[in-house]
Amino acid sequence: MFENIGQILILIWRTFQALPLVVRHKKKVFDQLFEIGNASLLMACVLSLFIGGVLALQTGVTLAERGLSSFIGQIVGLSMCKELGPVMMAVFISGRIGSAMAAEIGSMAVYQEIDALKTLNINPVHYLVLPRLVAISIALPILVVFSNLVGWFGGAVVSVYNYKVAISYAAYFNSLRSGVDFVDVANGLIKSLVFAVIIGAVSCHQGLRTVGGPRGIGRSVTKAVVNSIVLILILDYFLTRLLMHLDR
Amino acid sequence: MNSTQRRGVGIQVRGLRKSYDGQLVLRDISFEVAPGEVFVIMGPSGSGKSVLLKHLIGLEKPDAGEILIGNEPISSPGLMDRHRIAMVFQSSALLNSLTVGENVGLYLAEHRLKPPAEIEKIVAEKLELVGLAGAQNKLPSELSGGMKKRAALARALVVEPELLLYDEPTSELDPLMAVTVAEEILKLNRRMSVTSVVVTHDRDLAFGIADRIALIHDGTIYSIGKPDEVRNTTHPLFQRFLAADFNLKQSSDKP
Q: Give the residue from chain A lying closest to B78, CA to CA.
A: A121
Residue B55 lies in a domain: yes
* Any domain includes B105: no
Q: Which of A104, A111, A120 sits opposite B159 (nearest CB)?
A: A120
Q: Is A122 an 8 Å CB contact of chain B?
A: yes
Q: B138 in a domain, yes or no?
A: no
The per-residue pLDDT for B255 is: 54
Q: Given CB atoms, is A115 within the 8 Å cutoff of chain B?
A: yes
Instruction: Considering only the beta carbons, identify the residue of B85, B93, B106 that sits closest to A111.
Output: B93
Instruction: Please indicate whether, in this complex, the C-beta atoms of A121 and B106 are within 8 angstroms of each other.
Output: no
As a whole number of angstroms, the distance between CA A55 and CA A215 comes to: 40
Asked if B106 lies within 8 A of A120 by C-beta distance, the reply is yes
Q: How far is A11 from chain B (nearest CA, A)?
A: 19
- Of the residues A120, A123, A132, the best mutation for testing chain B's interface (the one with the most B CB atoms within 10 Å of its CB) is A120
**Are the beta carbons of A121 and B54 separated by less than 8 Å?**
no
Yes or no, beta carbons of A119 and B57 under 8 Å apart: yes
What's the pLDDT score for residue B22? Answer: 86
Q: What is the pLDDT of residues A38-79, one digit of tens each?
A: 888 999 999 999 999 999 999 988 888 888 888 999 999 999
Chain A nearest C-alpha distance from B168 (Å): 15
Residues of chain A contacting B86 with CB distance shorter than 8 Å: 119-120
Instruction: Specify the long-range contacts of residues B185-191, CB closer than 8 Å, at least 24 apart.
Output: B185/B38, B185/B209, B186/B38, B188/B157, B188/B164, B189/B8, B189/B36, B189/B38, B191/B4
- Is B73 part of a structural domain of the chain? yes
CATH of the domain at B199: 3.40.50.300
Tell me, yes or no, whether B179 lies in a domain: no
What's the gap in Å between the CA of A111 and the closest CA on chain B?
6
Q: How sure is the predictor about A201, in pLDDT bands with cuts at 50, 70 and 90?
A: very high
According to the model, what pLDDT value does residue B3 have? 43
Q: Answer yes or no: do A116 and B94 touch at CB < 8 A.
A: yes
Interchain CB distance below 8 Å, A116 and B81: no
Residues of the domain holding B36: 1-77+194-245
How confident is the model at residue B76, as a pLDDT? 86
pLDDT the model gives residue B70: 87
Query: Do A113 and B96 lie within an 8 Å CB cutoff?
Result: yes
Cβ separation of B89 and A112 shorter than 8 Å?
Answer: yes
Selected for mutation to probe chain B from A104, A121, A122, A126 (highest B CB count within 10 Å) is A121
Which residue type does B239 have? Q
Beta carbons of A121 and B94 less than 8 Å apart: no
Restricting to A residues 90-109, those with a Cβ less than 8 Å away from any Cβ of B are: 104, 107-108
Q: Is residue B107 part of a domain?
A: no
CA distance A214 to chain B (A): 16
ipTM of the complex in this document? 0.84
The Cα–Cα gap between B43 and B116 comes to: 42
Cβ-based neighbours of A198, under 8 Å, separated by 6 or more: A90, A228, A231, A232, A235
Closest-CA residue of B relative to A118 is B59
Contact residues, chain A, for B159 at CB < 8 Å: 120
Per-residue confidence (pLDDT) for residue B33, from 0 to 100: 93
Query: Which residue of B57, B61, B87 is the best one to mutate when testing the A interface, meaning the one whose CB has the most A CBs within 10 A?
Result: B87
Residue B65 lies in a domain: yes
What is chain A's mean pLDDT, rounded?
Answer: 92
pLDDT of B2: 43
What value does the mean pLDDT take over residues A110-135?
A: 93
Average pLDDT over residues A156-164: 90
Q: Taking the complete model, does pTM exceed 0.90, yes or no?
A: no
Considering the domain boundaries, does residue B223 fall inside one? yes
Which residues does chain B have with pLDDT short of 50? 1-5
Domain ranges (residues) in chain A: 24-239
**Range with the lowest mean pLDDT among A222-231, A236-245, B98-107, B176-185?**
B176-185
The total domain count for chain B is 1
Per-residue confidence (pLDDT) for residue B79, from 0 to 100 = 82
Residue among A24, A112, A118 minimizing CB distance to B91: A112
Nearest CB partner across the interface for B93, out of A24, A112, A121: A112
Q: Are B125 and B117 in contact (CB under 8 A)?
A: no
A132-155 average pLDDT score: 95
Per-position DSSP letters for chain B, written without gaps between them: --GGG-----EEEEEEEEEETTEEEEEEEEEEE-TT-EEEEE--TTSSHHHHHHHHTTSS--SEEEEEETTEETTSTTHHHHS-EEEE-TT----TTS-HHHHHTHHHHHTT-S-HHHHHHHHHHHHHHTT-TT-TT--GGGS-HHHHHHHHHHHHHHT--SEEEEESTTTT--HHHHHHHHHHHHHHHHHH--EEEEEE--HHHHHHH-SEEEEEETTEEEEEE-HHHHHT---HHHHHHHH----HHHHHH--
Contacts of A24 in chain B (CB under 8 A): 112
Verify whether the Cβ–Cβ distance B89 to A118 is below 8 Å.
no
What pLDDT, on a 0 to 100 scale, did the predictor assign at position B254? 54
